[in-house]
């Protein structure tokens, strides 16, 4: 009996979550989208670092204004705030993939990439380690860095190794999907 109740509870909450996400997607349905090419994405990022490697998995990419992207990413961050960071289970790579997937799922915008980076302490230069965060390209070709695991910080970037908070990011590769 307890197993049946647990299964029923999961089903109810799964349906509730799905309906909530569907309603959230409706709220982003009418945002203006602009199609951009992988070359435009590469140009936006490679203007400040030509060594970044790209793994693109789609044939077409869509973006919108930074205001719209920022609002969608904030929604993803709100959801993530309820799910703690768990080493090797739900850590930076999983959280970065969630942000990328969530943005595409609720808005149809797929110009938010997972960014594989090396992070150092901006004050001391001490190596913090390899990390996953997100890079976004807006409709004007601007590039933004966002990192749920660095206090949810977001900022426009235009230098090779941007600093956000007290972390200095060296972008190694981007995963677009």
What is the tens place of the pLDDT at every residue in 45-85?
999 889 999 998 888 999 999 999 999 999 999 999 999 99
What is the pLDDT, as a whole number, of residue 3? 85
What is the tens place of the pLDDT at every residue in 112-159?
999 999 999 999 999 999 999 999 999 999 999 999 999 999 999 999
- Which residue, 176, 8, 40, is CA-closest to 103? 176
Q: Is the pLDDT of residue 11 over 90?
A: yes
Would you kindly state where each structural domain of the chain is located, as residue ranges? 1-30, 32-176
pTM of the full predicted structure?
0.93
What is the pLDDT, as a whole number, of residue 58? 85
CATH number of 32-176: 3.30.460.70
């Amino acid at each position: 009996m307890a197993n049946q109740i647990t299964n029923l509870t999961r089903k109810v909450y799964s349906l509730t979550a799905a309906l909530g996400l569907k309603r959230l997607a409706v709220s982003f349905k009418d945002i203006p989208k602009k199609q951009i090419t992988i070359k435009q994405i590469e140009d936006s990022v490679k203007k400040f670092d030509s060594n970044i490697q790209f793994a693109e998995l789609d044939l077409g990419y869509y973006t919108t204004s930074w205001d719209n992207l920022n609002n969608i990413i904030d929604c993803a961050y709100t959801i993530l705030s309820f799910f703690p960071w768990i080493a090797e289970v739900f850590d930076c790579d999983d959280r970065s993939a969630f942000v990328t997937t969530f943005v595409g799922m609720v808005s149809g915008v797929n110009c938010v990439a997972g960014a594989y980076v090396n992070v150092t302490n901006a004050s001391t230069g001490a190596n913090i380690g390899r990390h996953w965060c997100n890079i976004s390209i807006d409709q004007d070709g601007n590039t933004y860095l966002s990192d749920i695991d660095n206090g949810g910080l977001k900022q426009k970037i235009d230098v090779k190794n941007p600093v956000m908070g007290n972390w200095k990011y060296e972008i190694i590769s981007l995963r677009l999907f």
